[in-house]
Structure 1
């Protein structure tokens, strides 16, 4: 008997209607459209409404999945939500989504690994299915980063946006999606990306602005460009593959300048790299599935295409999965 595999069978998306353009930001902070585009590649981003939170975006993404793919979710047996901007400590976003759709047999969990979250979520879903524990898993990435931004800090507020993507992962006895995975962390550097809550220190470093997102942009740029190419190579080695075997590279859409630098070090063409930040900004754990959704809308991805999905961010964490579409 063949070992069961997992397969991505559908994506649903929700992006809030509210837009924040670079021209809008020019009126709010000392910046310019030219500076933002040159440094980040972002032209506009979507913002959740005042009473719209990660749970609301997640539910709407699932509704879009149901409508677009004509699928049922009442038989889903695990809901995984990746987010670092949940509505509450408790209950989890996943629990509220499960209740909304009356998925009576579904377990629930939230995963907070920042921008690496979706890669972790997909890996967990694959592990649950291939080990025989689950048959049908929803992996939902949902972020409302605008709720924790300091809009007087031009180095962070120009980058981020809000969005959600719901990915359905199902058991199959045929060809599966996930080929290999690789993850690593460096918690000693965790203070370089933070949003505090109860404690005022991280690794002995004092938190500057409580409950607001902060990051050391220059340090992170150098860290990512230095470490992520080697991480991608480690992932490829796990799958016994080379970049020549890969049709699409889908890195976390932190900013376009960073992604171009990674591609240059990998000697991988930017034309075969999928991104989502131009009109949606950095959406943290949503950025990878959002880039896949955009590519599917443009009929770029074909059956059998191999894709490297690689996240990096808070933790500091980085890692990813290789999938076959």
Structure 2
């Protein structure tokens, strides 16, 4: 007997949201204690090249003005970063995020029809995390991997909503994670701006006029070469490790040169598709890969600073988990309420940028992340070879 597909539905919405972070924290004192020379000579580091490049295609006085105060801070506005402990992987973060998601919504793993996962970077080469993640929970539903770098949460939400509206699945879990601290030496200034984390959300049917209302995505092919992940042999050993390297076209140049056009194109495009204008939006959730991006985006769009949030000081740049983290904390603090019109905006290098408009509903939230603990003294590196500076 041929199975029947669910009929198409009017809409799709987020019904539950959770975020997860490692317990270990690297605060700024970690580098002051363990790498004092690196802190005092940071002018030539990769981190500075990343965030303060002066080689640009065009003038953006607003970006320069918002960035300027942070250039006086060695750590550029970051205070804490969550980092994976020894033996911990993205799969562990994703598992906890997914379990908390199901618990918040009051559903069992068997109640979910599909799981899609974006792990950046996954725990293994070859088959990535999706099948392993669902296997740990005893799930046998379709589970597959996708990737759109830092913009994976928006791409995942857009795809899940489309599949639910089409009637292919009734309940889809989307999981995203970021774990770049594993491919950065703590003696590299680039480690100052990166953290690890994960987010998960459930997408289910809803009535017309609610949930996801429209989206606008564009490609970011112009950022090819912003960074690479070469396999390098550790000096003095025969051990090879994957390392994150900044390219000649630095992400800092990319942000300054492209972010304004990207946010205007995507946000206004998504609003036009949804039948709304910028003044109709109650709250904006932006990706915040650096400390000044939230105010830069609001001023670029001509909206007030009270209409957004940034968790960058607490988490630093957690890639694809940035939008879920900002969205979670906005909802948990009451800044987003049921019925609000919310715009999400994300951007990833060598992937996509996009905005998504949705009517926020009754969303079940996972637990607020517990405050972490400093990296144990036994895991702190007193020396460390500066390989990328």
- Please report the TM-score for the alignment, with normalisation by the length of structure 1: 0.88
1:21 to 9, 22, 27: 27
1:190 to 221, 224, 227: 224
* 2:276 alignment counterpart: 241
Whole-angstrom CA distance in 1 between matches of 2:9 and 2:242:
48
* 1:206 alignment counterpart: none
> In terms of mean alpha carbon deviation, does 13-22 or 210-219 score higher?
210-219
Matches within 5 A, 1:272-291: 272-291=307-326
* 1:118 alignment counterpart: 153
Q: Is 1:61–1:166's contact at 8 Å kept on the other side of the alignment?
A: yes
Which secondary structure does the structure 2 equivalent of 1:83 belong to?
A: strand
Structure 1 residue 55 displacement after superposition: 0.8
Matches within 5 A, 1:70-149: 70-104=106-140, 106-149=141-184
Matches within 5 A, 1:1-325: 3-27=9-33, 28=35, 29-30=38-39, 40-104=76-140, 106-154=141-189, 156-173=190-207, 176-196=210-230, 211-214=243-246, 216-231=250-265, 232-325=267-360
Whole-angstrom CA distance in 2 between matches of 1:14 and 1:213:
26
Q: Is 1:178–1:323's contact at 8 Å kept on the other side of the alignment?
A: yes
Q: Deviations over 1:169-220 (max 9, x none)?
A: 112346531010111113243111333469xxxxxxxxxx963243614312
Whole-angstrom CA distance in 1 between matches of 2:257 and 2:184:
22
Would the alpha carbon gap of residues 143 and 132 (structure 1) be closer, same or farther in structure 2, given more than 3 Å must change? same
Whole-angstrom CA distance in 2 between matches of 1:259 and 1:15:
21
* 1:204 alignment counterpart: none
Q: Is 1:78–1:136's contact at 8 Å kept on the other side of the alignment?
A: yes
Q: Deviations over 1:119-173 (max 9, x none)?
A: 000001001111111111001111112112243332x211111111111111234
Q: Is 2:270–2:357's contact at 8 Å kept on the other side of the alignment?
A: yes
Q: Is 2:24–2:84's contact at 8 Å kept on the other side of the alignment?
A: yes
Which secondary structure does the structure 2 equivalent of 1:13 belong to?
A: strand
Would the alpha carbon gap of residues 110 and 197 (structure 1) be closer, same or farther in structure 2, given more than 3 Å must change? farther
Whole-angstrom CA distance in 1 between matches of 2:261 and 2:203:
30
Whole-angstrom CA distance in 2 between matches of 1:68 and 1:189:
38
> In terms of mean alpha carbon deviation, does 117-126 or 248-257 score higher?
248-257
Structure whose alpha-carbon radius of gyration is higher: 2
Structure 1 residue 6 displacement after superposition: 1.2
Whole-angstrom CA distance in 2 between matches of 1:112 and 1:3:
27
Whole-angstrom CA distance in 1 between matches of 2:136 and 2:147:
21
RMSD: 2.4
Whole-angstrom CA distance in 2 between matches of 1:39 and 1:248:
28
Structure with greater contact order relative to length (CA < 8 Å, sep ≥ 6): 2
List gaps (5 residues or longer) in structure 2.
Answer: 1-6, 43-69, 233-240, 361-389
Q: Is 1:83–1:113's contact at 8 Å kept on the other side of the alignment?
A: no
- Please report the TM-score for the alignment, with normalisation by the length of structure 2: 0.74
Which secondary structure does the structure 2 equivalent of 1:221 belong to?
A: helix
> In terms of mean alpha carbon deviation, does 187-196 or 116-125 score higher?
187-196
> In terms of mean alpha carbon deviation, does 62-71 or 124-133 score higher?
62-71
Whole-angstrom CA distance in 1 between matches of 2:74 and 2:337:
31
